[in-house]
Amino acid sequence: MKKLTTFYWITIGLVLFFFVPGAIMNIMKTPDWVEVFNQLGYPEYLLPFLGVAKLLGCLVVVLPQFRRLKEWAYAGLVIDLVGAIYSAVMAAGFDPGLLLMGVAVGIVFVNYWLWHKRLDLAAAEA
């Protein structure tokens, strides 16, 4: 269980690494993000909304409570990444930099799986 918990928290850290900086930049509407959104054809006013949603999703994923909400948070984070990959490919074609976003999707999935594995082990021990 200790190894599992360690891997779980490592993947949580990676999820936060992928999402929190971008979420903060979304909320701040930094010029780089505004330009990206303009290139993708999205309205600028979505930036703060998405940033807050990402931060809330990260918060829920980190907190030990809120099982049902956590399921939704994981789904939201994956939808955000997959939607960003799809939008980028449709707007500008494939870019090898998008592979990093694919890795982020994989890390979210691994973290989700580890979370469920920890829940199963805790239930078996109880």
Place of tokens 């805790």: 122
7 contacts: CB under 8 Å, gap ≥ 6: 114
Question: What sign does the CA torsion over 81, 90, 93, 24 have?
Answer: negative
Task: Look at the chain and count its residues.
Answer: 126
What is the pTM (predicted TM-score) of this model?
0.92
**Each residue's pLDDT expressed in tens, for the chain with a length of 126 residues:** 799 999 999 999 999 999 999 999 999 999 999 999 999 999 999 999 999 999 999 999 999 889 999 999 999 999 999 999 999 999 999 999 999 999 999 999 999 999 999 999 888 887
